[in-house]
């Protein structure tokens, strides 16, 4: 879902940082971690760009255009399809390299380089790795590093000179350090750094871990894909996977999963009303630290975990978090605590002891809570509005909550969210037999009321 790029001068440690970031990303709920680099040395367009640098005969504009062509193809043919699947893509070098090497050091100008690359992906997060130029030159010499992006004014190769490394480092400081404005559209992304790589690998890992956790836990909307598209992809995958599974016998019979009549002949508003009351009572009687349990069952952690479990027969914590995906992501610690609350107090979830060959407990949503789980996924785009409405109207009737939120003339933003809910219901089903899912705003209102 996110494109994370690693930038810095030659010998700064970008390759090591890229591998470390990939390891750190495993702790989050991405469907996979994909590593790449630019220019692509295994692709014809990337090879043309590398050859232009090697010979120095193309000229600065043509050279920059070749890198941009490689980047554009890379973005749309390789990166974006992976982002739509919920993967995180980590790229060693990306557009900021061209902005520095060709735009600043090569004197083409930031605006011109940005224009050439304007149709490519915008990095969601740029991690700027830095080190002293002398240290970088030593690494280049020791590791045999070669410059991937270069500017040439004669036959001299600059990547092994102190002068060139100083220029590159100064260029990154100017651009990523904010001394010059980041050109559009690349000003939308987040830049962290400089992360100084002058110590051990473990020290670098701790710095990168702090920066990465801070970014991902902010749950920012991705810049290159629609988060709704990502989450609907995962909902579809979970439904397909569920149909293919053959359940193993456990301690007792497994609850069924109903993909048509999952509302159980109960209006959506009434499902929320009953679940809300039971949840609040359970929370009030919880003897452990209540700060770990959200005040409202319409908030992200509740709908994420219960909703996901409503789609799959059962899962251990690690596999459950994979099914959550990056949109419904909940930290490992919080997932454990919520599952414990659901099992011990609310009775929504039951825990099975490890089976032979399994490493941990498996958690399963009880059949009578499937309706609330599926409903939570369906109304996910409107969850904040519903939670806010309830906090402001504690005595208000749930039946008319959606109408109260939308009003007579909903804003464009609310209409977009209702449309997203309808698209989710198209996947999940209306919950009422063979009744078609709503497609219009008024149909969604009526569906909510059970009409």
Q: What pLDDT score was predicted for residue 160?
A: 47
Q: Are residues 193 and 236 in the same domain?
A: no
Is the pLDDT at 255 greater than 60? The verdict is no
pLDDT of residue 89: 98
Q: Which residues span the domain enclosing 239?
A: 227-449
Distance between CA atoms of residues 35 and 50, nearest Å: 19
What pLDDT is stored for residue 272 in this prediction?
94
Question: Would you say residue 143 has pLDDT above 80?
Answer: no
Domain membership flag for residue 99: yes
Question: The domain spanning residue 135 has which CATH number?
Answer: 3.40.50.300
Q: How many domains does the chain have?
A: 2
| Helical ranges in 9-145 per DSSP H | 14-25, 44-55, 60-74, 80-84, 95-98, 110-116, 133-143
Position 383 scores a pLDDT of 96
Predicted pLDDT of residue 248:
42
Residue 366 pLDDT > 70: yes
Do residue 190 and residue 259 come from a single domain? no
Split at pLDDT 50, 70, 90, the class of 258 is: low
pLDDT(422) > 80: yes
- 357 and 255 housed in the same domain: yes
pLDDT for residue 158 is more than 60: no
Which of 15-19, 140-144, 262-266 is predicted with the least confidence, judged by mean pLDDT?
140-144
Determine the Cα angle at 288 with ends 355 and 297, to 5°.
Answer: 80
- Token pair 């980041």 is found at 182
- The SS3 of residue 104 is helix
Of the three residues 216, 242, 258, the one that is the final residue of a domain is: 216
pLDDT given at position 156: 39
3-state secondary structure of 254: coil
pLDDT of residue 351: 84
Least confident of 63-67, 99-103, 384-388, 432-436: 432-436
- Asked whether residue 156 falls in the same domain as residue 232, the answer is no
- 221 located within any domain: no
| Tens of pLDDT, residues 338-347 | 999 998 887 7
Whether 152 maps to a domain, the answer reads yes
CA distances, 327 to each of 314, 398, 429 (Å): 20, 26, 21
Contacts of 38 (CB under 8 A, 6+ apart): 46, 67, 70, 71, 74, 91, 92, 93, 94, 97, 148
Count CB atoms within 10 A of the CB of residue 166: 13
pLDDT at 55: 66
**Among 9-13, 93-97, 212-216, 296-300, which is the least confidently predicted range?**
9-13
pTM for the model stands at: 0.87
- Residue 375 and residue 411 in one domain: yes
Question: Contact, 14 vs 8, CB < 8 A?
Answer: yes
Task: Categorize the per-residue pLDDT at 38 as very low, low, confident or very high, splitting at 50, 70 and 90.
Answer: very high
One domain, residues 273 and 339: yes
pLDDT bracket for residue 151 (50, 70, 90):
very low
| pLDDT reading at 330 higher than 80 | yes
Three-state SS for 64? Answer: helix
Average pLDDT of the chain? Answer: 87
């Amino acid at each position: 879902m996110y494109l994370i790029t690693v930038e810095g001068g030659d010998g700064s440690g970008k390759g090591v940082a890229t591998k470390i970031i990939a390891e750190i990303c495993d702790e989050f709920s991405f469907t996979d971690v994909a590593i790449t680099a630019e220019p692509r040395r295994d692709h014809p367009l990337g090879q043309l760009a590398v050859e232009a640098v090697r010979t120095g005969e193309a000229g600065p504009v043509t050279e920059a255009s070749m890198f941009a062509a490689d980047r554009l193809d890379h973005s749309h043919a390789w990166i974006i399809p992976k982002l739509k699947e919920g993967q995180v893509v980590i790229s060693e070098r990306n557009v900021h390299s061209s902005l520095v090497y060709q735009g600043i050091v090569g004197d083409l100008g930031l605006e011109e380089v940005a224009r050439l690359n304007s149709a490519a992906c915008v990095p969601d997060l740029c991690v700027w790795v830095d080190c002293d130029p002398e240290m970088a030159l030593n690494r280049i010499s020791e590791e045999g590093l070669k410059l991937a992006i270069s500017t040439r004014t004669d036959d001299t190769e600059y990547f092994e000179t102190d002068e060139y490394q100083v220029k590159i480092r100064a260029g990154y400081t100017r651009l990523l350090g904010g001394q010059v404005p980041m050109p559009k559209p690349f000003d939308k992304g987040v830049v962290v750094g400089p992360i100084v790589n002058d110590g051990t690998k473990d020290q670098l890992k701790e710095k990168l871990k702090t920066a990465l956790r801070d970014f991902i836990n902010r749950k920012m909307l991705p810049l290159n894909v629609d988060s709704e598209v990502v989450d609907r992809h995962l909902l579809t995958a979970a439904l397909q996977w569920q149909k293919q599974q053959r359940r193993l016998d456990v301690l007792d019979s497994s609850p069924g999963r109903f993909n048509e009549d999952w509302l159980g002949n109960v209006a959506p508003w009434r499902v929320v009303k009953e679940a809300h009351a039971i949840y609040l009572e359970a929370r009030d009687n919880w003897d452990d630290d209540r700060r770990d349990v959200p005040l409202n069952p319409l908030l992200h952690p509740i709908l994420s975990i219960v909703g996901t479990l409503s789609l799959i027969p059962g899962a251990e914590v690690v596999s459950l978090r994979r099914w959550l995906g990056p949109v419904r992501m909940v930290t490992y610690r919080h997932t454990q605590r919520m599952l414990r609350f659901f099992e011990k107090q609310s009775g929504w979830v039951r825990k099975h002891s490890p089976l032979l060959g399994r490493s941990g407990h498996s958690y399963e949503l009880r059949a009578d809570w499937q309706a609330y789980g599926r409903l939570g996924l369906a109304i996910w785009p409107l969850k904040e509005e519903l939670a806010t409405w309830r906090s402001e109207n504690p005595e208000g009737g749930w039946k008319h909550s959606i109408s109260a939120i939308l009003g007579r003339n909903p804003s464009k933003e609310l209409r977009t969210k209702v449309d997203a809910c309808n698209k989710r219901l198209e996947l999940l089903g209306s919950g009422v037999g063979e009744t078609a899912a709503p497609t219009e705003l008024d149909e969604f209102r009526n569906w909510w009321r059970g009409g």
